[in-house]
Chains A and B, each alone.
Chain A
């Protein structure tokens, strides 16, 4: 194999470290994707790819820069670029997807999670509900989630 010459220069501690980091990252990615497959509702499923984007990505990024720094020429900083980029963009994407899903679920009348504040209502605004105060709106907001469970 052509990698044999470079490989012999990599010390044992670096091999063990890189192998452990890659294996841990792949295991966490598998767990996150399995959660995407197995969880029941969309609002539970939206959490599980985040551990792929945080822990899985960061572990494999650390394995990458350790491998290329020890075996290659100098300090391989470029792997941090991917991790920083993912850390910046994935929350934006998740928030956009979450808002779109909440909008669509409210529109079709599917059960949505209860609101955390009194300012946001889960149900579409009706004329008679609008006059009937905060407690009634909270009741209608939490009811579909309880029905689902």
Chain B
């Protein structure tokens, strides 16, 4: 593989990490609880994208399962927290 290919992938990883840092800052300073839940949802998406890019970088399909699990549990967790914000309890 040509070296610029890995440079581009590393740059993409750095940008995704910066995106996750933005979400973390919103998570820390969000004025309401719904801002924090939204920031956590965004962090799940960014983590999933980081897993996919790392799978390309290291040429391994094992990262794909991690990305799929992050997508799955991110959705379930965000929905459960939204339900908690709406009603005060998750399962009624």
Q: Tell me what chain A mostly uses at the interface: helix, strand, loop, or mixed.
A: helix
Q: Residue among B12, B55, B72 with the most chain A CB within 10 A? A: B12
* Contact in complex: A36, B53 (CB < 8 Å): no
In the complex, the number of residue pairs spanning A and B with C-beta atoms less than 8 Å apart equals 169
Give the interface segment out of A2-10, A111-119, A133-141: A2-10
Q: Is the interface of B mostly helix, strand, loop or mixed?
A: helix
**Band of interface residues on B:** 35 or more
Decide yes or no: A33 and B61 within 8 Å by CB, A18-B56, A97-B82 being known contacts. no
Interface residues of B in 27-45 (CB under 8 A from A): 32-35, 37-39, 41-42, 45
Write the residues of chain B forming the contact surface with A, with a CB cutoff of 8 angstroms.
Answer: 1-2, 4-5, 8-9, 11-13, 15-16, 18-20, 22-23, 25-26, 32-35, 37-39, 41-42, 45-46, 48-49, 52-53, 55-56, 58-59, 61, 64, 67-68, 71-72, 75, 78-79, 82-83, 85-86
